[in-house]
C-alpha cells in the first residue's frame, strides 16, 4: 500500500492534465486508507472514515470545478485551489486535520504530515501565477500561520500539537510558493527530515501525551538531548538545521518587500517555539522517581541517536564543506 501511495504522488507530480492529477490523488487516497486501518490504532475506523469523507469532498470539488471551466477560467482555478487546500488541511479548512492525527500512530502521522501534502502542494504551485489564486494563497498563508501558532498553545496531546505545527509550517511553504518554487521544495525537504527525526523518537519512546514526558526523566541523557535538539530544530532555532530554510525565506521576503507576511510568520514562529519549549521543560528540568522497570528497548538507541543528531546538526557542517570545496 505504501508503494501505491508513492505511485499516486508520482503520477500527480508528472501529470500533464488535471484529470491525471486527480487520478493520482485518488490512488494516493485509496492507498493511504489501508495504512490508517491498522489494528494497533485505537480509533482506526473513525480516522479512516473521516479522512475518506474529507478527501472525497475535496475530490468532488475538484471534479465540480471542471464544469466551471466553460464559464469562467479564473473561478475554475479558484475552486481547484480551495479543494487542494481542503485536502492538505490548511487553515481555515483545518478542522479535520488534528482530529484525524489524534487517532493515528506515529508512522501514519508522519505520512499524513509530509508525503500526503506533497502532491497538493505541487498543484498549488502551478496555480500561483493566477491573480485570484495568488490572493487566496496569501490569505491562506496568514490564516495558517495564526491558527497553527495559537492552536497548539493549550494542547496536551503530542499528536495534535504536531498537527498544528504542521499547519504553521505550511504557511511558510505557501509564502515560499508566492516567491520562488525552488524555495518551497527546499523548505519541504528540510521539514521532511526534521519531522522524521522527531516522529522516530516519539515512536521509539512510545509517548503520546505531555504527562508521558514526565516519565522520560529517567531515560539516558543522550536520548533526551536528541529529542531536545530535534524539537528546537523544528522550531527554527539557530544554529540547527531547521533555521536554514527559514533564514533563506526571510531573506527572500525582504527582497520581495513582503514585510507583512514576514511579521506574521516570525511572530507565529516565536509562539510555536514557545510550545516546543513547553515540551522540553519536563524533559530536561523535572525529575520524577520511577518504580517500574525501564523499557529494555531504550538501551540501544545508538543508530537512532546518530541519525537524528546528524539531521539536526547537518547545517553546522555546511560552512566547512563549502570551505573544502
What confidence tens digit (pLDDT) does each residue in 115-166 have? Answer: 999 999 999 999 888 888 999 999 999 999 999 999 988 888 999 999 999 9
Looking at residue 113, its pLDDT comes to 94
Q: Cell numbers at residue 245, please?
A: 530554510
Looking at residue 42, its pLDDT comes to 62
| Domain count within the chain | 1
Residue 236 or residue 40, greater confidence: 236
Measure the CA angle with vertex 290, ends 289 and 293; round to 5°. Answer: 155
Confidence grade of residue 265 (pLDDT, cut at 50, 70, 90):
very high
Percent pLDDT > 70 in the chain is: 87
Instruction: Name the least confident of 169-178, 212-221, 312-321.
Output: 312-321
Does 250 score more than 90 pLDDT? yes
Look-up: residue for cell 487553515?
91
Looking at residue 116, its pLDDT comes to 94
Looking at residue 41, its pLDDT comes to 61
Does 324 score more than 80 pLDDT? no
What confidence tens digit (pLDDT) does each residue in 62-99 have? Answer: 988 877 877 777 788 889 999 999 999 998 999 999 99
Mean predicted lDDT score pLDDT of the chain: 85
Domain that residue 257 falls in: 2-324
Does 43 score more than 80 pLDDT? no
Looking at residue 285, its pLDDT comes to 67
What does the DSSP assignment read for 213-259? HHGGGGS-HHHHHHHHHHHHHHTT-TTSTTHHHHHHHHHHHHHHT-H
Closest CA to 314 of 247, 229, 249: 229
**What are the residues whose beta carbons fall under 8 Å from the beta carbon of 314, sequence distance 6 or more?**
241
Looking at residue 18, its pLDDT comes to 86
Looking at residue 96, its pLDDT comes to 93
Distance CA 214, CA 13 (A): 43
Distance CA 118, CA 12 (A): 10
Distance CA 279, CA 223 (A): 15
φ, ψ for residue 285, nearest 5 deg: -105, -50
Does 60 score more than 80 pLDDT? yes
Q: Cell numbers at residue 230, please?
A: 530535534
Region 36-49: mean pLDDT is 76
Confidence grade of residue 103 (pLDDT, cut at 50, 70, 90):
confident
**What are the residues whose beta carbons fall under 8 Å from the beta carbon of 131, sequence distance 6 or more?**
74
Does 197 score more than 50 pLDDT? yes
pTM for the model stands at 0.90
Looking at residue 36, its pLDDT comes to 87
Closest CA to 226 of 303, 146, 153, 119: 303
Contact call for residues 54 and 25 (beta carbons, < 8 A): no
Looking at residue 300, its pLDDT comes to 45
Looking at residue 280, its pLDDT comes to 82
**What are the residues whose beta carbons fall under 8 Å from the beta carbon of 27, sequence distance 6 or more?**
4, 7, 8, 11
Amino acid at each position: 500500500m505504501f508503494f501505491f501511495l508513492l505511485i499516486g504522488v508520482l503520477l500527480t507530480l508528472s501529470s500533464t492534465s488535471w484529470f491525471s492529477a486527480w487520478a493520482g490523488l485518488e490512488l494516493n487516497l485509496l492507498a493511504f486508507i489501508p495504512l490508517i486501518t491498522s489494528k494497533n490504532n485505537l480509533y482506526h475506523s473513525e480516522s479512516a472514515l473521516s479522512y475518506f469523507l474529507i478527501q472525497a469532498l475535496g475530490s468532488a470539488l475538484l471534479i465540480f470545478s471542471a464544469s466551471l471551466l466553460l464559464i469562467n477560467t479564473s473561478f475554475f482555478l479558484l475552486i481547484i485551489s480551495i479543494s487542494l487546500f481542503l485536502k492538505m488541511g490548511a487553515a481555515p479548512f483545518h478542522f479535520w486535520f488534528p482530529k484525524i492525527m489524534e487517532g493515528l500512530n506515529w508512522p501514519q502521522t508522519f505520512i499524513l504530515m509530509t508525503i500526503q501534502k506533497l502532491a497538493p502542494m505541487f498543484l498549488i504551485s502551478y496555480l500561483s501565477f493566477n491573480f485570484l489564486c495568488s490572493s487566496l494563497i496569501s490569505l491562506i498563508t496568514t490564516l495558517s500561520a495564526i491558527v497553527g501558532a495559537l492552536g497548539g498553545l493549550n494542547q496536551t496531546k503530542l499528536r495534535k500539537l504536531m498537527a498544528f505545527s504542521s499547519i504553521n509550517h505550511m504557511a511558510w511553504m505557501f509564502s515560499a510558493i508566492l516567491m520562488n518554487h525552488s524555495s518551497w521544495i527546499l523548505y519541504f525537504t528540510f521539514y521532511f527530515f526534521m519531522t522524521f527525526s522527531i516522529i522516530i523518537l516519539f515512536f521509539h519512546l512510545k509517548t503520546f501525551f505531555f504527562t508521558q514526558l514526565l516519565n522520560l526523566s529517567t531515560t539516558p541523557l543522550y536520548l533526551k538531548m536528541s529529542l531536545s535538539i530535534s524539537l528546537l530544530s523544528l522550531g527554527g532555532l539557530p544554529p540547527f538545521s531547521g533555521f536554514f530554510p527559514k533564514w533563506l525565506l526571510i531573506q527572500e521576503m525582504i527582497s520581495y518587500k513582503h514585510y507583512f507576511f514576514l511579521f506574521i510568520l516570525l511572530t507565529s514562529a516565536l509562539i510555536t517555539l514557545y510550545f516546543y519549549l513547553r515540551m522540553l521543560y519536563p524533559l530536561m528540568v523535572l525529575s520524577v522517581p520511577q518504580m517500574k522497570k525501564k523499557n529494555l528497548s531504550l538501551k540501544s538507541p545508538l543508530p537512532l541517536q546518530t541519525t537524528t543528531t546528524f539531521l539536526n546538526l547537518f547545517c553546522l557542517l555546511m560552512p566547512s564543506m563549502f570551505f573544502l570545496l
